């Protein structure tokens, strides 16, 4: 399955099969729908043919009636097997092309006027008249004057105002029933006839031929539609699963399409599909084999574009980059970064002042836009709460600056507590106490380190004097004739252990001086490439004895640095000696020299013989060895001395552990 997912040929075959299955599924589904519409699954072929003829003749009936309403009194469709007659509602035959020929289908259709309702309006009743205004009537003196009778308002009635397409006239109807009566009164009856003998191959013959052909496959078409759909879904899922896979491995690889922003890619695919559909509709595909072929090709083009989008979507989901490269996401991230940078560019006080100003302006706009008042609340916020908050923020800024200096290691300054109150003052005093505690801790640590270095140096010197005598006398003893074989072995053990103890003391003294900066450094221009060649030549025999293959990679041009040659040799000697002791026999050791900007980079890489159960920081401490069983010779000071000497010359040393991979990187500034 993995090979199939990564095979380009398998994907191409799957796409071709999917296209073929899509065509089969659509054609089978269309054929099934056509047969179902003709009733082929519930009636005999003869009845299905009648329905097919009725379906084909329906358009002719409608076209004949509309042509008559438009005033065309000439007979239509004389070159086909269709004949018709136009009959009014009173039963008068207005036009007929049927002369009594033998038919295979007859039918009628009511053709009503074409209209639409413009609106519903109120109009005055035309039969109402307004009577004249009578004069006031005089009553006796003890009576009241009778006012004049007011003029009645004209009555109105609601009507339905319609526009008729057939004659271009407008009509008003007082009710829906009146509108229906008018529609029925102006309806036409169109009688249609399909002759048994046709003058030539026409739409009815093609319709019957299509029905007869599909009727023989009425049981096969639904099964083909379902089976092709299921197989197409399985191939579609396989293509989604294989999207992004290559022959090179299981990693998901993006193509140039997958690197297009998702929203832009979606718009491009949707635009391409819309363009294909618009072209298809505007072309007006003919109803023949050419039109069907073009329709199938356009359908496949739309399907392939959609498949391309789906596979690209699957690749993005697998790589987890679905929304990362979207234009909208980039715009939101860019706007967010711009807003954050703009706020961070302001000091703490200015930042909060800008935020509060924006809030107050928004509240003021809201108050101005409303009808109810709220200016008093706004004034309280603007002139009471805002100054108080700014006052607190000003003092918080003093605390923040003091904490920032403390984090930067400036332990000699203190925070001024004048003007502070409450918890702000307590916080400032706590920060000042932290400064004092850190100063005391740093001083105590410095004192301890200085005492430790002096103790190591003094004790080492005190031990070195008698050790020198022991080494000399053991050497003299080894030159004497000893009668016993065991005595000679004892002398060899003493010589070996004395030399080891002397090396330990030398390393201890050098490590102490290097860590305290007491070693003198004579910096001069030094070509690291030449020095590395010398070191490789020096260790070639030892590497060969341990079955280690040394691979040296360095540039052709010189790589000059300002360093002390003696100290640099000691750094390389310690690192290569460490590799000889702890590297796995039969493996390669890589030594690389290259330029890294304005610095020179020297890297040592090897595979450890034993599992490394310590961290990188622990291995550079004094007296810590990679061999926890201590089965190899060594003082545990090699890496510590190398780091101290590197830093003493202005360089840096980085140690990395990745499983059994041991990697050391040295960086030194390049000499001009």
Domain CATH for 624: 3.30.565.10
Residue 255 has pLDDT above 70, yes or no: yes
What confidence tens digit (pLDDT) does each residue in 180-191 have?
Answer: 888 888 888 889
The most confident of the ranges 307-321, 351-365, 484-498 is 307-321
What confidence tens digit (pLDDT) does each residue in 259-294 have?
Answer: 888 888 889 888 888 887 777 676 665 656 676 677
Does any domain span residue 411? no
628 & 661 share domain = yes
Whole-angstrom distance, CA of residue 198 vs CA of residue 80: 6
Six-digit token string for 215: 């009727």
Residue 585 has pLDDT above 80, yes or no: yes
Does any domain span residue 119? no
C-alpha torsion 186→187→188→191, nearest 10? -170
Q: Which of 393, 425, 453 is the last residue of a domain?
A: 393
377 & 278 share domain = no
| pLDDT at residue 119, as a whole number | 77
527 & 665 share domain = yes
Residue in this structure with the two tokens 């359908």, named with its chain if needed: 299
Q: Do 533 and 493 touch, CB atoms closer than 8 A?
A: no
| pLDDT at residue 457, as a whole number | 65
329 & 361 share domain = no
Q: Do 162 and 179 touch, CB atoms closer than 8 A?
A: yes
Q: Which of 363, 393, 423 is the last residue of a domain?
A: 393
What confidence tens digit (pLDDT) does each residue in 459-490 have?
Answer: 666 676 677 777 777 777 777 777 677 777 77
Whole-angstrom distance, CA of residue 597 vs CA of residue 559: 12
| pLDDT at residue 380, as a whole number | 63
Whole-angstrom distance, CA of residue 205 vs CA of residue 81: 9
Across 560-629, where does the E strand assignment appear? 560-563, 588-596, 599-607
More confident residue, 500 or 30: 30
- For 300, counting Cβ atoms within 10 Å of its Cβ (0-12 exposed, 13-18 middle, 19+ buried), the class is middle
| pLDDT at residue 600, as a whole number | 93
| pLDDT at residue 587, as a whole number | 93
664 & 527 share domain = yes
Does any domain span residue 365? yes
3-state SS, 39-95, equals CCCCCCHHHHHHHHHHHHHHHHHHHHHHHHHCCCCCCCCCCCCEEEEEECCCCCEEE
The fraction of the chain above a pLDDT of 90, given in percent, is 9
Six-digit token string for 112: 């009503």
Does any domain span residue 558? yes
269 & 287 share domain = yes
Six-digit token string for 191: 């009688």
The DSSP bridge partners found for residue 592 are 553, 603
Whole-angstrom distance, CA of residue 49 vs CA of residue 322: 54
Residue in this structure with the two tokens 């690291």, named with its chain if needed: 528
| pTM of the complete model | 0.45
587 & 605 share domain = yes
| pLDDT at residue 628, as a whole number | 47
Q: How confident is residue 505, by pLDDT bands cut at 50, 70 and 90?
A: low
Mean pLDDT throughout 416-432? 77
| pLDDT at residue 132, as a whole number | 41
Does any domain span residue 284? yes
Nearest to 645 by CA among 510, 502, 508: 510
| pLDDT at residue 130, as a whole number | 34
- For 528, counting Cβ atoms within 10 Å of its Cβ (0-12 exposed, 13-18 middle, 19+ buried), the class is buried
Six-digit token string for 235: 């191939």
Whole-angstrom distance, CA of residue 297 vs CA of residue 528: 68
| pLDDT at residue 229, as a whole number | 92
Q: Do 285 and 291 touch, CB atoms closer than 8 A?
A: yes
Q: How far is CA 434 from the centre of its chain?
A: 46
Nearest to 665 by CA among 624, 605, 621: 605
Q: Do 499 and 507 touch, CB atoms closer than 8 A?
A: no
| pLDDT at residue 618, as a whole number | 60
Six-digit token string for 660: 């059994």
Six-digit token string for 554: 């360095």
328 & 371 share domain = no
Q: How far is CA 34 from the centre of its chain?
A: 45
Query: What domain range includes position 298?
Result: 254-344
282 & 310 share domain = yes
530 & 560 share domain = yes
| Residue 541: CB atoms within 10 Å | 9
Whole-angstrom distance, CA of residue 619 vs CA of residue 638: 10
What confidence tens digit (pLDDT) does each residue in 514-561 have?
Answer: 666 566 778 889 999 999 999 888 888 999 998 999 999 999 899 999
Q: Which of 360, 393, 426 is the last residue of a domain?
A: 393
| pLDDT at residue 133, as a whole number | 37
Does any domain span residue 296? yes
Residue in this structure with the two tokens 């009856």, named with its chain if needed: 189
What confidence tens digit (pLDDT) does each residue in 370-401 have?
Answer: 655 556 566 766 776 777 777 777 878 888 88
Q: How confident is residue 617, by pLDDT bands cut at 50, 70 and 90?
A: low
The most confident of the ranges 62-71, 149-158, 424-433, 551-560 is 551-560
Residue-averaged pLDDT of the chain: 78
Whole-angstrom distance, CA of residue 521 vs CA of residue 563: 8
Q: How confident is residue 502, by pLDDT bands cut at 50, 70 and 90?
A: confident
| pLDDT at residue 453, as a whole number | 65
- Contact partners, residue 498, CB within 8 Å, separation at least 6: 467, 470, 471, 474
Q: How confident is residue 512, by pLDDT bands cut at 50, 70 and 90?
A: low
Does any domain span residue 552? yes
| pLDDT at residue 607, as a whole number | 92
Residue 110 has pLDDT above 80, yes or no: yes
User: DSSP assignment, residue 480?
Assistant: S
Diameter of the chain by CA atoms? Answer: 179
Radius of gyration of the chain measured on its C-alpha atoms: 51
265 & 381 share domain = no
373 & 299 share domain = no
3-state SS, 176-244, equals HHHHHHHHHHCCEEEEEEEECCCCCCCHHHHHHHHHHHHHCCCCHHHHHHHHHHHHHHHHHHHHHHHCC
Mean pLDDT throughout 600-622? 75
| pLDDT at residue 389, as a whole number | 76
Residue 45 has pLDDT above 60, yes or no: yes
Q: Is 584 strand, coil or helix?
A: coil
Residue 137 has pLDDT above 80, yes or no: no
Helical ranges in 480-564 per DSSP H = 485-516, 528-545
Helix then strand then coil, % of the chain, to nearest 5: 55, 15, 30
More confident residue, 597 or 462: 597
Does any domain span residue 600? yes
Query: How many domains does the chain contain in total?
Result: 3
Residue in this structure with the two tokens 């690209």, named with its chain if needed: 312
More confident residue, 57 or 368: 57
């Amino acid at each position: 399955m993995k090979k199939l997912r990564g095979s380009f040929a398998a994907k191409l075959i799957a796409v071709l099969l999917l296209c073929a299955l899509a065509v089969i599924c659509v054609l089978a589904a269309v054929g099934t729908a056509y047969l179902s519409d003709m009733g082929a699954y519930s009636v005999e072929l003869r009845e299905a043919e009648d329905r097919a003829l009725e379906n084909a003749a329906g358009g002719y009936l409608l076209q004949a009636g509309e042509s008559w309403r438009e005033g065309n009194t000439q007979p239509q469709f004389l070159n086909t097997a269709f004949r018709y007659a136009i009959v009014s509602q009173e039963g008068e035959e207005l036009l007929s092309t049927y002369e009594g020929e033998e038919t295979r289908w007859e039918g009628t259709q009511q053709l009503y006027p074409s209209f639409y309702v413009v609106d519903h309006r109120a109009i005055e009743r035309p039969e109402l008249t307004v009577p004249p205004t009578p004069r006031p009537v005089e009553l006796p003196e003890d009576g009241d004057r009778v006012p004049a009778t007011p003029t009645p308002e004209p009555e109105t009635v609601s009507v339905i105002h319609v526009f008729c397409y057939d004659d271009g006239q407008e009509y008003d109807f007082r009710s829906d029933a009146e509108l229906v009566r008018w529609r029925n009164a102006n309806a036409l009856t169109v009688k249609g006839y399909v002759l048994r003998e046709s003058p030539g191959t026409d739409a009815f013959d093609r319709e019957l031929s299509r029905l007869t052909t599909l009727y023989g496959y009425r049981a096969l078409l639904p099964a083909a539609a379902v089976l092709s759909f299921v197989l197409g879904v399985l191939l579609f899922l396989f293509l989604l699963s294989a999207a992004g896979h290559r022959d090179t491995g299981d990693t998901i690889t993006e193509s140039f399409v997958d690197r297009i922003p998702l929203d832009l890619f979606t718009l491009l695919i949707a635009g391409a599909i819309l363009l294909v559909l618009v072209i298809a509709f505007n072309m007006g595909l003919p109803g023949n084999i050419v039109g069907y072929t073009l329709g199938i090709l356009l359908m496949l083009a739309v399907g392939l574009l959609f498949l391309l989008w789906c596979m690209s979507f699957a690749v993005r989901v697998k790589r987890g980059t679905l929304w990362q490269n979207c234009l909208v996401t980039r715009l939101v991230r860019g706007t967010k970064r711009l807003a954050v940078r703009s706020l961070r560019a302001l000091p703490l006080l200015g930042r909060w002042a800008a935020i509060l100003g924006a809030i107050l302006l928004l509240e003021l706009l809201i108050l101005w836009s409303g009808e109810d008042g709220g200016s008093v609340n706004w004034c309280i916020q603007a002139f009471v709460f805002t100054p108080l908050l700014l006052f607190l923020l000003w003092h918080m800024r003093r605390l923040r600056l003091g904490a920032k200096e403390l984090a930067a290691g400036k332990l000699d300054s203190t925070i001024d507590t004048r003007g502070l109150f409450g918890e702000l003052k307590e916080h400032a005093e706590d920060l000042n106490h932290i400064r004092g505690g850190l100063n005391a801790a740093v001083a105590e640590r410095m004192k301890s380190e200085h005492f430790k270095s002096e103790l190591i140096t003094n004790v080492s010197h005190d031990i070195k004097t008698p050790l020198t005598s022991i080494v000399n006398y053991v050497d003299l003893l080894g030159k004497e004739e000893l009668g016993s074989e065991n005595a000679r072995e004892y002398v060899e053990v003493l010589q070996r252990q004395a030399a080891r103890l002397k090396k330990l003391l030398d390393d201890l003294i050098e490590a102490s001086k290097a860590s305290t900066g007491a070693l003198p450094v004579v910096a001069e221009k030094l070509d690291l490439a030449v020095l590395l060649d010398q070191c490789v030549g020096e260790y070639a025999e030892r590497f060969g004895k341990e079955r280690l293959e040394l691979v040296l990679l360095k540039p052709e041009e010189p790589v000059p640095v300002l360093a002390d040659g003696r100290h640099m040799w000691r750094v390389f000697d310690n690192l290569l000696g460490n590799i000889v002791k702890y590297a796995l026999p039969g493996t390669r050791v890589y030594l690389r020299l290259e330029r890294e900007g304005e610095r020179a980079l020297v890297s040592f890489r090897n595979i450890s013989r034993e599992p490394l159960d310590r961290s990188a920081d622990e291995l550079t401490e004094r007296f810590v060895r990679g061999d926890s069983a201590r089965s190899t010779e060594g003082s545990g000071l090699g890496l510590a001395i190398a780091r101290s000497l590197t830093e003493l010359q202005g360089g840096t040393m980085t140690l990395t552990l990745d499983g059994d991979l041991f990697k050391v990187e040295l960086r030194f500034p390049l000499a001009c």
